[in-house]
């Protein structure tokens, strides 16, 4: 029983003993026990090995991190390339191979996607702004421009009234000429009919096809 209690005590002190962290009296006590107890000695060997393995693994890890740091510094150039190409990638203006490597880069570094999202957000707010600005134009220039192109008076109503008045006037005159039994020559009558059809063609704003049928 006393043996077992000592073993328990020694086991709990083993880690400190390996690191030499016990006071000299206790250090000696553990040392002496290990010399006489094969059970504790075995535990001690196992623990010592485990600790040294852990320490080595930790050292490796530190070295790896340092290497990775070096590697990451190298990647800043890669990131810069990514960043300068991002705008053209967004506009679908990159050659296929470069576009593929952009995609690969974003898979490797998911954070890089955020840059792309920000660019998309910029695109979205610019376009919402565009809609706002478009709404501020309340005038309609279409008629004014059309008349300017035609080289005519932009006063639309005046134009139309004038057109209709002359159209009606000429038709009435010609119709009277044709239908009335005024003794005019055959050639004059034919000329009048022709002129009548022509008037319809020139002045009618819509039925150009109908008018051209009449002309034949």
DSSP strands (E only) in the chain: none
* Number of shown-chain residues binding Zn ion (CB under 5 A): 3
Q: Which listed range, 17-25, 39-47, 110-118, 185-193, lies at the site for Zn ion (CB under 5 A)?
A: 39-47
Which of Zn ion, other proteins, none sits in contact with 157, Cβ below 5 to 8 A by type? none
Taking the C-alpha atoms of residue 16 and residue 1, their distance in angstroms, rounded to an integer, is 24
205: CB partners within 8 A, 6+ apart: 163
**Residue entry with tokens 């040294």:** 52
- Residue 5 makes contact with other proteins by CB under 8 A: no
- Residue 37 makes contact with Zn ion by CB under 5 A: yes
Q: Which residues of 177-189 are buried (b: 16+ CB within 10 A; e: fewer)?
A: beeeeeeeeeeee
For residue 208, give Cα distances in angstroms to 49, 163, 164, 175, 215: 105, 16, 16, 20, 10
Give the one residue of 76, 107, 180, 206 binding other proteins; rule: CB under 8 A: 206
Least Å from the CB of residue 140 to other proteins:
7
71: CB partners within 8 A, 6+ apart: none
Give the one residue of 145, 175, 182, 215 binding other proteins; rule: CB under 8 A: 145
**Residue entry with tokens 């702004």:** 129
Least Å from the CB of residue 175 to other proteins:
24
Q: Which listed range, 12-20, 103-111, 147-155, 185-193, lies at the site for other proteins (CB under 8 A)?
A: 147-155
- Residue 214 makes contact with Zn ion by CB under 5 A: no
Q: Which listed range, 63-71, 87-95, 105-113, 172-180, lies at the site for other proteins (CB under 8 A)?
A: 87-95
- Residue 97 makes contact with other proteins by CB under 8 A: no
Q: Say if CB 159 and CB 152 are below 8 A apart.
A: yes
Residue ranges in contact with other proteins by CB under 8 A: 84, 86-88, 91, 93, 117-119, 121-123, 125-130, 132-137, 139-146, 148-150, 205-206
């Amino acid at each position: 029983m006393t043996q077992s209690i000592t073993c328990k005590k020694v086991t709990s002190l083993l880690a400190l003993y390996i690191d030499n962290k016990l006071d000299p009296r206790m250090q000696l006590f553990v040392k002496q026990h290990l010399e006489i107890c094969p059970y504790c000695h075995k535990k001690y060997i196992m623990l010592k090995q485990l600790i040294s393995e852990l320490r080595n693994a930790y050292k490796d890890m530190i070295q790896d991190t340092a290497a990775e740091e070096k590697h990451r510094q190298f990647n800043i150039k890669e990131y810069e390339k990514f960043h300068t190409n991002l705008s053209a990638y967004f506009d679908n203006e990159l050659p296929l191979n470069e576009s593929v490597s952009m995609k690969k880069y974003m898979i490797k570094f998911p954070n890089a996607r955020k840059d792309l999202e920000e660019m998309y957000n910029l695109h979205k707010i610019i376009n919402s702004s565009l809609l706002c600005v478009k709404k501020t134009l309340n005038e309609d220039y279409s008629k004014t421009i059309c008349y300017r192109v035609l080289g005519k008076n932009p006063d639309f109503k005046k134009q139309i009234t004038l057109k209709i008045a002359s159209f009606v006037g000429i038709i009435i005159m010609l119709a009277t000429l044709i239908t009335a039994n005024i003794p005019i020559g055959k050639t004059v009558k034919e000329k009048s009919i022709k002129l009548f059809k022509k008037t319809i063609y020139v002045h009618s704003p819509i039925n150009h096809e109908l008018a051209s049928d009449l002309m034949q």
